[in-house]
């Protein structure tokens, strides 16, 4: 179940996280119009990479579905999370960075 205050708290906490991130060699073609998946074995650094990417690009939403405030969100509520982002920041995000999206039941429907 989506709790608006939890989502707002999540976005505010994200903004306060440090900007100094260790650079990785992997590059992602941000000009692509296609969905890009970052895949790899457990503990390989996918979450760190996605988080560091989120700190380098503007106009993006980084959502980590292992965060307890987002863990219970269903695929239908993902649009509501984006609406809350737009209310807070006054813009429509260009990029959606969805970390641990497999934790969301029926996540495939959310990314169509």
pLDDT tens digits, 48-76 = 888 888 888 888 999 999 999 999 999 99
> 3-state DSSP call for residue 5?
helix
Question: What's residue 33's pLDDT?
Answer: 79
Specify whether the backbone of 68 is left (phi greater than 0), alpha (psi in -120 to 50) or beta: alpha
32 located within any domain? no
CB 17 within 8 A of CB 10: no
What does pTM read for this prediction? 0.77
Q: What's the whole-number mean pLDDT along residues 85-90?
A: 94
Model pLDDT, residue 26: 62
Domain that holds residue 12: 4-17+45-110
Q: What is the pLDDT of residue 82?
A: 94
User: For the chain, how many structural domains are there in total?
Assistant: 1
| pLDDT tens per residue, range 10-51 | 888 888 777 666 566 667 777 777 888 888 888 888 888 888
Structural domain includes residue 34: no
How far apart are alpha carbons 23 and 10 in whole angstroms?
A: 24
| CA 77 to mean position of chain CA atoms | 14
């Amino acid at each position: 179940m989506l709790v608006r205050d939890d989502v707002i708290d999540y976005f505010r906490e994200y903004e306060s996280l440090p900007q100094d991130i260790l650079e990785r060699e992997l590059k992602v073609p941000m000009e692509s119009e296609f969905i890009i998946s970052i895949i790899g074995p457990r503990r390989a650094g996918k979450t760190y990479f996605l988080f560091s990417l989120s700190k380098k690009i503007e106009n993006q939403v980084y959502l980590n579905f292992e965060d307890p405030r987002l863990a219970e969100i269903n695929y239908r509520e993902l649009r509501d999370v984006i609406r809350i982002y737009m209310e807070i920041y006054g813009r429509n995000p260009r990029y959606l960075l969805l970390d641990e999206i497999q934790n969301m039941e029926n996540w495939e429907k959310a990314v169509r």
